Each structure stands twice: as C-alpha cells, then as structure tokens.
Structure 1
C-alpha cells in the first residue's frame, strides 16, 4: 500500500499542501492545496491572521481525505523569527505581529544595555537583524509587559500550528535558532542571556530536533478533517527544510535558497562565530542532523513581489523577467538597505535610492525589474567572495533552490556576477525537505544523504533540474 506524507509549507506570501510518496525509487509530489498569505494591519501593527492560516491548514488536510490519500504524518514549516505568546488556556496574548512591523525600532539600543553585539554573536552565532525574536520580545517587554507575565509559552510560528493540531507545546531546533536566543554550541536556549534580558524562563519550551514526534491530532481536529495522523517536526524553518533538499552529497555545497528572501551559504559541522564572521553578517542557523546553515540573509524576491503587486499585477513573473531582460539600464541598489524592508511603495524606494546615488532612475516596469534583478545578482557575487574569504575555499558551482530558481533571467545574471556554474532546482525544495524529515522519521529513508540522492535522481528524471 502506498504511503503518503503531507508537507504544509507556509511562506510569507503563500502556502501550499504537498503530498509526497516514493514510488519505484522516485520521489513523487502532488500539490493538493494552495493559498495566499500576507501580513495585514491590525490595531496599527503588521500582523499575521493566525485564525485564517489555521483554517487553510485544515482545509488542505481535508483535501487528503477527499482524494483518498490519507497521510501517515504531517509536517509544517514557515518563515523564521516570528512567534506568538500563549497563555495557560492556549489563547494568544495580543496580536501575532510580523517581522516587518516597526515595533522593534530602537530595541537594539535596549538590548545593548544588557549585552554587547559582539558577545551576543559569540554566544548565539546570529548577527543583529532588527526583526529577530530577541528584539521582538524586548518590544513586548517595553510596551506590553503583562503579556510576558501572563504567558505560558512562546511558540515560534510553525510550533504554534503544531500545538493547534495536537494540543502539545514543543519547540523545534532550526526555527528556534532564528530567535537569537539559542546558544550556538549547546544548541539549547541560552538561559543566562534570557535571564539578563528579563524574559521569563518558563515560556521557553524544551527544544526538540527536526524529525521528532509531536503527537497525534486532537479529537476535535480529527472530527473536522475526517482522519487521524501523526504530526512530525519538519526542519520547521523553511530555509532549513529547503537546504535539506539541495541535490548534492558533496561537502561544502554552495546554495541560494531563493524566495521572498534569498539565503546564500554553505553547511558547516562546526559554527563560525568569529569577529570577522559577525562583521560580514553571517548566521550560524540550525540545520538538520546537527549541521549549521552558515548563510547570509539577502532581501530577495520580496522586492519584485512588491513591485508586481504595486504596478505589475497583470503580468506574470515570467513576463516581468522577459521585460527586464530587454532593458540596458545599469543602475544598482543595495538590496539589504533598510529602505526596502517595508516601504509604502517599493517602486518609489527603488527610484529614490537610484536618485540619491546619482544613477539613472528607472521609470518603466521593465527598468525597475532589471535594476532589482541585477542588484540581487551583484549581491550574490559579493556574498560569494565573502564566503570564500571566510572559509579559505573556492566555489565554482551554486545550487539555486526554491521558487526563485524558476527565474531564468536571475539565474543567468547570477552566473554572470559570480562566475559560477548555476544549477537551478528543485523549485519546491522546502516542501521536499519537509517530506524528507518525515520519511526519515518513519524509516522510509535512512539518512539525509540518502534523501539527497533520492531528490537528485527524482528531480533529474522529471526534468526540473537545469544547468
């Protein structure tokens, strides 16, 4: 009898339910449900609609019953850093505020009163990003301290949905590391740091490794969807799942997980929390099988997504790529500039940056897209040279995974600015990695290396993998 596994992959702009199975030595994927997702203004804050997202989770799970393909298990992955505070009754305290909200403005100044940036990086291996959980929690402490007083748990986004499915509160390692509150060597909460910052210890639940069993569905959820299954912790930070699906078993494989964010890096077995690494802005985020995702966050396709929504919604991404390819504008922007984090108008932000740096100001959709794509690719080239300087190694190949791997024009520019051979795919890397963790849990796959070999042969045979 065929075994099915369900990956629920929720990104900052959309979510999808993908059934996975292994047939005749090949991994097969079937997307059964997709939904849009975005932050919304609630009480003056940019927030996630957790009720709506959970309804989408249930709707997609019901679809499995309708298809007659009941999964053995389900795993959930999402973006990092965001969380909810939950009281003893399991209710959210306040809003599920998102990482693009400005509540963390100046919270680094407050955190610096308790710990220096250099010591914080040395302890956690994570550089300062104003959206990190450590700053979001400080914003709560400064403006709504009663929430911390009343909270029973701080649950990172995917762990909260696991709780809604099972009634069990657990934290998963890869997503927890994005908080900047996990000790980089011990891979556990840095309780000394937590005490210094004045956050209550009790809200930080025991950290579990990806692939751990959470629990079965609650009777209430079973009644709503029509079946029971196991909930297994995927590598629940979406990039951690995506990196699992890099179709290479070579050590030191260079990758770009390309989506709303571009995450560029390698895997390490030991962290690099040196001063030089901190200055360059590299993270030592948790990975599957006790590995570290040594990477840099780059703004990514958020910029194109915003421009498309603003002025180009009648065009597909493929059409926008085609427009950009025909332009010869040479202006570039710094993709990691804070002005592109959450502007009222991405178009105007790009124009303002070009004007402020005495470059040609893009006017058409094609010109704006060309500026963004070239700027991203240049950033990839700059980051490659930083990785090579920090590791003392040379890289001649980049694996581009995730939805952005379908952007042929960006892939071409990446090769141009990095001088590397570019291998694109799989596009659904995050869902594949999610499925791999579940399959390893159920012993259908024996290891990460076997899973990667399976991905490589499966993707190659389906024609999704391109050189």
Structure 2
C-alpha cells in the first residue's frame, strides 16, 4: 500500500514542500518546492511576510497536484514563539512580528523585576528564559511602559496599537497558516508550549501569567494534542479537477517534528536538532523542573504523544549563515574547509551571547567579542569559522553534561538531525569534544516527523514508535567515533570562563 502526504516545513531562513511517500514500510521524500523565508521591515519592526509564505504554500501544493499526485493529507510545521493576532472576522491585525525584532530588548528583565521572580515563572511553565519568548513579546505589546528608555524598541511612543481592542484570537504561525488553508482556528500544543505561557503539567494557559501581562484569556484557544485532522483544503489541479485534501495539525513546532523524525532507540540518546538554532535535549515522559534545571536554563517543551522535550536552545548555524552572507563566494563546504585548516581553540566565543542574536555584521561582532575578552583579533576568515565551530562543539559538550546531571539514566551518545547533520567537520568535532559517539541523519528530520504525524492522523501507522522504525529502515545513518583532540582540557576551562554568566 502506498500513501503520499505533503509535509510543509518552514524554518527561520527557508521553507520546503515535500511529498513523503510510504510504500509498505519504506519512507521516501521528494522536494517539490523550496523558497526563502526572509525577514522584512514594516513600521520599524522586523516581521515575517506571512502573505508571501502562503503564496509559496499554495504554489507548492499546486505543483504536487499538477504532477498527478493525490495527497492523503497536508501538515505544516514552523518555528516557535511568534504569532498573528486576528479580529473577530479572522482578519490579521498588525504584522507577524519576528522574535528577532528588538521590541523585547530589556522586557524580560523588567517583567521579572516588576512582577515575580524567575523561580515562580519556571515552576509554572518549565520553559527556558529567552528574551523573545511569547510571554515577553506580549508584555512588550500590551505594556509599553516595560520598554526601557534606552531600548531600541523605544521609538518615540509608549502607547499600544490602536487596534488592540479589536483582537479576538491569537494564533501561532503554523496555526495561522492552517487557518488560511482550512478556515479553522486551532491551537496546537507543541508550538503553544514554547510561549512560556502554558502550565507545564496542566498543559493549559496560565491564568496567572496572562493576568500579569494583561492578556485577555479569550485570545487563547485551548491547546490540542497533535496528529489530528482539523479541516480540509479545497483546490483544483491543472485538469480543473477539484480536490479536498485533509489538513492535519501535527507537532507544528519544527523541533517537535524533528524529534518525532529522529530514530531514537534508547533512553541514553541525546538529540541535537542542528539548523539555524541548535536544540539539544532528551525525550522524557515527564518534565524535569527543579533547582538544577532552572540554574541550567533547561526548557521543557511539549512533544508528540504526551511526551516532553527536555532541551536547551543554543545559537546554531545562524552564526555561519550570517557569516556566509557576508562572503557569498564561499559555500558552506568552503567555509568548513577553511576552518579545518585553522588551528583548534585559538579563539572562542560564547555562541549564546546576545550580541550574536541579530548583529549587523557577524564577522565584526565575533572580532569585537574576541577583543573584549582579551583574546586578540582573529586574523583570517578560516580562524573566524574555526572559532564558531569550536565554540559550538564546546557548547554542545557543556549542555550534554548539564543534561547528564538532570537525567536519571546514563547518556551514551548524540543523534544529530537537520541541515547541520550534513556538516561532517562539525559532527566529528562534536564527537571529539563531547567525547561520545555521534550518529547523524536524517537531514530532513522535521519534514519526516511532520509526515509521520500525518500518517498517524489518517490511521496509516499506529504511532510514532512505528514511524521511527520505518525511519531507521529508510534512511542511511552516519556514525562518528570520538578521537583525542590536543588542547581540549584548557579549551574547556577557557570556555567555562566565557560562559559562566549564561
């Protein structure tokens, strides 16, 4: 029996529309459309162009139909925390402001100072403190007085938008895209869990936190578990034959889908979803919320089938992506080759330093960091790239050990998925510096997990465990064994000093 579904996987830098084909017990992917996801500037804010994304989605679905494929389902996953506000008629109010906009500068600290301490928020939500979480985006929107006067978000006015009173519904980005396909408003749990507004154990909106920021509870739909059909998308193929395609709400946070698509086989596995961000964590039946996890700033996001993703967000390939934009003549493989030729551990950065979140010039930001920390300035592009890769791998080691301290069982290896799984140099560095075996692939884990969720929703497979068995049989996995690396111990000491405030 052959079943085909459309997996729409949109990340912070690009989107892809894939046809996933399950033929018996073998899964394959075919990319039918790829498009950029570019930030745009509107009304002095950094935003997502949701209209452009929808146009690409419609186009990609049309490509599938015109190829003579009759999909059994459609599913969408995207990044987390960002949202769209709708009026009672379902029209968008304002823009889909990006988490990379500076409107939240200083807001998290101001909110915690004014309302409650970190321990109380963490005990309620179990979510890592990141300045762009939905909680602080809404706090900035609803409470302009929280914006520090020196903040880049202070643009000469401290008033809320005039349309704020018209808001009827908040939808996270994938829920909004599903709404535009189906006309059905829905709130999917895994994406909602990234907001820092959801009770970790109750899996419902925290009325206490909503009250603190003045967010009306009627904006928020009840979170629903993934892998269910929510509506249909109606369209025509090139022969003008009508199609009414089921749309499933799958694990719509791209990392949640990536974890679904990772063939984890034992409790000792640590996953590393390597893309614009690096998400490193464990899959567990219950959240881990205690003083140790708070101190390590570990997050407990929702997963599929009632599980939790106990993880940490790490600045990932964003550092290399921004650098490559400055040197377009170099491919990512070219940059990795330059790094391989440069000496190890000559320069180190804290990848999660705030200056790297949205810099105007990534290269200069890295040079400035090295100068500010007394390391001198990297003298070549290869040294800068090597600095990034060494620092990422050291950060992976640091987080791996934090997870080990929190885990009730030994952690034995790391499984890398996502676009970063193609980076053989960084994968080997990860094995060498973390001193554990590394397994890499599949690269399209988010699209695979998206497809598996759809296959569960339509009853083609029983559960995610069955889906992971299919993934293991369908995709080649690459193994990396750890090798001794000179200078590791002093590099670890230096890196700990650089990151001790994180």
Structure-to-structure mapping, 1:165-180, within 5 angstroms: 165-180=181-196
**Aligned twin of 1:229:** 245
Structure-to-structure mapping, 1:28-67, within 5 angstroms: 28-67=28-67
CA displacement at 1:91 relative to structure 2: 1.7
CA displacement at 1:35 relative to structure 2: 0.4
What SS does the aligned partner of 1:350 have? helix
CA displacement at 1:207 relative to structure 2: 1.0
**Aligned twin of 2:335:** 320
Among 275, 295, 298, the alignment partner of 2:311 is 295
What SS does the aligned partner of 2:475 have? helix
Equivalent-residue separation in structure 2 for 1:459 and 1:288 (angstroms): 21
**Aligned twin of 2:154:** none
TM-score, normalisation: structure 2? 0.89
Evaluate the alpha carbon distance shift between residue 323 and residue 435 of structure 1 in structure 2; reply closer, same or farther with a 3 A threshold. same
CA displacement at 1:465 relative to structure 2: 3.9
Equivalent-residue separation in structure 1 for 2:257 and 2:329 (angstroms): 32
Task: Give the conservation status (yes or no) of the 8 Å contact 1:265–1:295.
Answer: yes
Task: Give the conservation status (yes or no) of the 8 Å contact 2:342–2:386.
Answer: yes
**Aligned twin of 2:411:** 395
1:14 and 2:14 equivalent?
Answer: yes
Task: Give the conservation status (yes or no) of the 8 Å contact 2:103–2:137.
Answer: yes
**Aligned twin of 2:130:** 129
Evaluate the alpha carbon distance shift between residue 406 and residue 225 of structure 1 in structure 2; reply closer, same or farther with a 3 A threshold. farther
CA displacement at 1:274 relative to structure 2: 0.9
Equivalent-residue separation in structure 2 for 1:314 and 1:82 (angstroms): 33
**Aligned twin of 2:157:** none
1:348 and 2:364 equivalent?
Answer: yes
Equivalent-residue separation in structure 1 for 2:370 and 2:98 (angstroms): 28
What SS does the aligned partner of 1:3 have? strand
1:373 and 2:374 equivalent?
Answer: no
Evaluate the alpha carbon distance shift between residue 363 and residue 224 of structure 1 in structure 2; reply closer, same or farther with a 3 A threshold. farther
What SS does the aligned partner of 1:217 have? strand
Task: Give the conservation status (yes or no) of the 8 Å contact 2:414–2:438.
Answer: yes
Q: Which consecutive aligned stretches of 4+ in structure 1 deviate over 3 angstroms post-superposition?
A: 145-148, 218-226, 464-467
Structure-to-structure mapping, 1:111-150, within 5 angstroms: 111-112=111-112, 113-143=114-144, 144=160, 146-150=162-166
**Aligned twin of 2:149:** none
Task: Give the conservation status (yes or no) of the 8 Å contact 2:47–2:95.
Answer: yes
Query: 1:375-434 deviations in whole A, cap 9, x for unaligned?
Result: 000000111111111225432210000000000000011011100101000000000000
**Aligned twin of 1:93:** 93
CA displacement at 1:52 relative to structure 2: 0.5
CA displacement at 1:223 relative to structure 2: 12
Equivalent-residue separation in structure 2 for 1:239 and 1:101 (angstroms): 21
Among 262, 276, 280, the alignment partner of 1:260 is 276
Equivalent-residue separation in structure 2 for 1:346 and 1:36 (angstroms): 20
Task: Give the conservation status (yes or no) of the 8 Å contact 1:241–1:433.
Answer: yes
1:444 and 2:445 equivalent?
Answer: no
Equivalent-residue separation in structure 1 for 2:49 and 2:241 (angstroms): 21
Query: 1:246-274 deviations in whole A, cap 9, x for unaligned?
Result: 11221242110000000001011111111
TM-score, normalisation: structure 1? 0.96
Task: Give the conservation status (yes or no) of the 8 Å contact 1:65–1:226.
Answer: no
Q: What root-mean-square deviation, in Å, do the aligned CA atoms of Structure 1 and Structure 2 show? A: 1.9
CA displacement at 1:3 relative to structure 2: 2.0
Task: Give the conservation status (yes or no) of the 8 Å contact 1:167–1:218.
Answer: no
CA displacement at 1:38 relative to structure 2: 2.0
CA displacement at 1:98 relative to structure 2: 0.3
Query: 1:206-230 deviations in whole A, cap 9, x for unaligned?
Result: 2111102210125799999952201
Structure-to-structure mapping, 1:158-197, within 5 angstroms: 158-197=174-213
Evaluate the alpha carbon distance shift between residue 248 and residue 32 of structure 1 in structure 2; reply closer, same or farther with a 3 A threshold. same
What SS does the aligned partner of 2:310 have? strand
Equivalent-residue separation in structure 1 for 2:241 and 2:62 (angstroms): 5
**Aligned twin of 2:27:** 27
**Aligned twin of 1:106:** 106
Structure 1, unaligned runs of 5 or more: none
